[in-house]
Amino acid sequence: TPVIRVKNLYKIYQVGTNKVYALNGVDFTMYKGEFCAIVGPSGSGKSTLLNMLAGLEKPTKGEIIIAGKHMERMDENQLVQFRRENVGFIFQSYNLLKTLNAVENVALPLSFRGVPKKIRNAKAEEYLKLVGLEKQMKHMANAMSGGQQQRVGIARALVVNPKIIFADEPTGNLDSKTTMEVLKLMQRIVREQQQTLVMVTHDNYIAGFADRQFHIVDGKILKIEEKKKETEEA
């Protein structure tokens, strides 16, 4: 099932008298249950593309259809509502509240949505178990390792059961061993929860963990590459 469809997408910035084509005619489809990587060098348009997909910026031209709805036709209120219902975010620097424990951090998005405390804590615990943190539920975020903090970040993104998860350089602050663990966790979750995970990275090795890699250069998708089998089994 298609979840994200992008058609003839352009983002053009006017810089002085010059036009910068941050996105220069992008077309693709991403499906339910897919782990997709948008990979390219610095300045290639990754952040711009992610911001468009998340409805944080408007395209200059083109269409973004997510779960059947045209993002480019939504106003700001509709976009906020759309994100609340459909999207989870995983950040490079985790963005946890440092003086809250793991359960409280994961429960936060449910709190914003008015879910009662008992229910949101139970949900938070369920997702912390899913990411392998059953023993760290009451640990303060600032007392956890980077890998543990990112697991909390992943649980927080999942707790609202979004259709789509956006991850911006999610392993950018992790050592190589922890990076592998987090990438394998994301592979497993996509398979189990059948969400669509869109990860942005500049690193080809990290992108190799995705089911499909969307290679972006100068605002264009140059090729879409399927995963080689051995990366997953390794």
- Could you give the count of Cα atoms lying within 13 Å of 18 in the half-sphere of its Cβ? 4
Provide the minimum distance between the beta carbon of 64 and ligand ADP in the complex, in angstroms, as a whole number: 15
Task: Decide if residue 12 touches ligand ADP (CB under 6 A).
Answer: no
Task: Decide if residue 153 touches ligand ADP (CB under 6 A).
Answer: no
Provide the minimum distance between the beta carbon of 1 and ligand ADP in the complex, in angstroms, as a whole number: 23
Site string for ligand ADP, 33-52 (x = CB under 6 A): -------x-xxxxxxx----
Is the separation of the CB atoms in 40 and 46 below 8 Å? yes
Q: Are strands 61-66 and 2-15 parallel, antiparallel or unpaired?
A: antiparallel
Dihedral of alpha carbons 30, 32, 38, 39, sign: negative
Q: Whose Cβ is closer to ligand ADP: residue 42's or residue 176's?
A: 42
Q: Which residues have CB under 8 Å from 1's CB, separation 6+? A: 31, 32
Site for ligand ADP in 51-90 (CB under 6 A): 56, 80, 83-84, 89
Structure tokens at 80: 């906020």
Is the separation of the CB atoms in 218 and 46 below 8 Å? no
Provide the minimum distance between the beta carbon of 176 and ligand ADP in the complex, in angstroms, as a whole number: 22
Task: Decide if residue 168 touches ligand ADP (CB under 6 A).
Answer: yes
Q: Using CB under 6 A as the criterion, which residues of the chain lie in contact with ligand ADP when the complex forms?
A: 13, 15, 20, 22, 40, 42-48, 56, 80, 83-84, 89, 109, 112, 168
